[in-house]
């Protein structure tokens, strides 16, 4: 039954994802629907033992997300765009986390920590939906600073939110960060993670110079290394952040390995993406969704407006027209991959609010992914200027 479930997941996700694309919707929506249909809530055609592997598969998908995010970053472009990239990375995400913290505490009766954890799950934007559209814009006669900014900031946004999420999850599990010793432990884990990623990247760059090593072998070594360092923090006797090590590895390799790994990682991600979103759909509690969908939708929309205010604040001093700033706000709407990767971790950790967090995360994907894609595609020509040196006013 496991192999049959494996085949059903791939075929169902592939077919419904393609149908979603044909009707101009993000493929991930079709994959989630495939999971709902195949999962325990409806047909129950997925073997339970396969669902037990879901946490491991999602963790691997998270590793791939961080590596792809690092590989997509161009340090020179980030420096060129300056502080605007930093603002757009931090402010909208913090605004949305704050909104969910308030709404979750006052409306859903969550504790402040649980509400903040909910916000950290949903706050990340989706490069999977944004980046392909920005790459297309780069080939058009529009202001090139817009896609460069959104590609860089959306990737950094994911990394920031994942760091916040892991810290809040530890707090929710009772692992206090209040003492100076524990704060220093967190800081050392960040520093050692970044240094480890940089050091490993130096080794890979050395390997990359040897032509006798086949490119596929290099890719296998890179993937194996990501799997090892991503879980090493649970084995090492000192503070170490595996997620930051993967991110640092990707950023440092971006200049030397980006073109070599692009096509291979794209193929790998296609399979991982189907697995990730179909399994997310299979875990969705339809009962919880039906009983509370109205209030959940209101909370998602309210938090989204707060996020958009954060985007405009982040771009307040940017040298863009008001229409271009509005397009950036539209581009910062869609949620997808990060929510699918970490949305169930609170539930798997045994938190009481875990099922609610997962349900709202999936609903946020279903609402924001098609909405953001529609707004970006529909208003691109009317909002983006062909003038590469826009003024601040219309």
- Average pLDDT value over all residues in the chain: 85
Are residues 19 and 31 in contact, defined by beta-carbon separation less than 8 angstroms?
no
107 — pLDDT class (breaks 50, 70, 90): very high
The pLDDT of residue 263 is: 60
Choose between 13 and 276: higher pLDDT.
13
Are residues 260 and 218 in contact, defined by beta-carbon separation less than 8 angstroms?
yes
**Of 57, 55, 60, 340, whose CA–CA distance to 223 is shortest?**
60
Choose between 82 and 133: higher pLDDT.
133
372 — pLDDT class (breaks 50, 70, 90): very high
pLDDT in tens, 131-148: 888 878 888 889 888 988
SS3 1: coil
392 — pLDDT class (breaks 50, 70, 90): very low
- Cα–Cα distance, 132 to 23 (Å, whole number): 18
pTM of the model: 0.82
Are residues 148 and 132 in contact, defined by beta-carbon separation less than 8 angstroms?
no
Mean pLDDT of the region 158-171: 85
The pLDDT of residue 94 is: 97
155 — pLDDT class (breaks 50, 70, 90): confident
Check pLDDT > 80 for residue 230: yes
Burial class for 83, CB neighbours closer than 10 Å (0-12, 13-18, 19+):
exposed
Tokens representing 393 are: 């006013």
Tokens representing 51 are: 């669902």
Pick one of 3.40.50.2300, 1.20.58.100, 1.20.1530.20, 1.10.10.60 as the CATH number of 54-383: 1.20.1530.20
Mean pLDDT of the region 382-393: 63
**Of 178, 151, 176, whose CA–CA distance to 78 is shortest?**
151
**In this structure, what DSSP letter does residue 23 have?**
T
Check pLDDT > 70 for residue 150: yes
């Amino acid at each position: 039954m496991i192999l049959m479930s494996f085949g059903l997941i791939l075929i169902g996700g592939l077919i419904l994802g393609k149908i979603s694309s044909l009707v101009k919707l993000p493929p991930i929506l079709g994959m989630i629907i495939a999971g709902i249909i195949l999962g325990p809530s409806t047909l129950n055609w997925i073997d339970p033992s396969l669902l037990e592997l879901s946490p491991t598969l999602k963790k691997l998908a998270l590793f791939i997300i961080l590596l792809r995010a690092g590989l997509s970053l161009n340090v020179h472009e980030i420096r060129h765009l300056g502080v605007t990239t930093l603002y757009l990375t931090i402010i909208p995400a913090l605004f949305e986390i704050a909104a969910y913290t308030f709404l979750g505490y006052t409306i859903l009766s969550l504790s402040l920590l649980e509400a903040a954890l909910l916000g950290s799950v949903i706050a990340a934007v989706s490069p999977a939906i944004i980046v392909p559209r920005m790459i297309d814009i780069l080939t058009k006669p529009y202001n090139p600073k817009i896609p460069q900014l959104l590609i860089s900031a959306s990737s950094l946004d994911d990394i920031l939110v994942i760091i916040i999420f892991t810290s809040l999850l530890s707090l929710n599990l009772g692992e206090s960060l209040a003492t100076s010793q524990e704060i220093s432990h967190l800081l050392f884990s960040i520093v050692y993670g970044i240094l480890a990623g940089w050091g490993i990247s130096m080794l890979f760059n050395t390997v990359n110079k040897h032509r006798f090593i086949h490119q596929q072998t290099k890719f296998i070594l890179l993937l194996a290394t990501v799997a090892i360092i991503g879980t090493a923090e649970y084995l090492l006797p000192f503070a170490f952040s595996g997620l930051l090590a993967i991110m640092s590895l990707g950023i440092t390799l971006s200049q030397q390995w980006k073109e070599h790994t692009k096509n291979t990682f794209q193929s790998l991600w296609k399979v991982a993406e189907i697995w990730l979103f179909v399994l997310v759909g299979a875990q969705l509690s339809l009962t919880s969704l039906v009983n509370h969908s109205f209030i959940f939708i209101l909370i998602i929309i309210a938090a989204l407006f707060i996020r958009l205010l954060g985007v405009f604040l982040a771009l307040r001093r940017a040298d863009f027209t008001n229409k271009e700033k509005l397009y950036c706000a539209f581009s910062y709407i869609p949620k997808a991959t990060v929510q699918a990767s970490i949305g169930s971790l609170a539930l798997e950790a045994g938190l009481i609010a875990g099922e609610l967090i997962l349900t709202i995360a999936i609903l946020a994907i279903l609402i924001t992914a098609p909405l953001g894609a529609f707004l970006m595609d529909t208003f691109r020509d009317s909002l983006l200027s062909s003038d590469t040196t826009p003024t601040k006013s219309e």
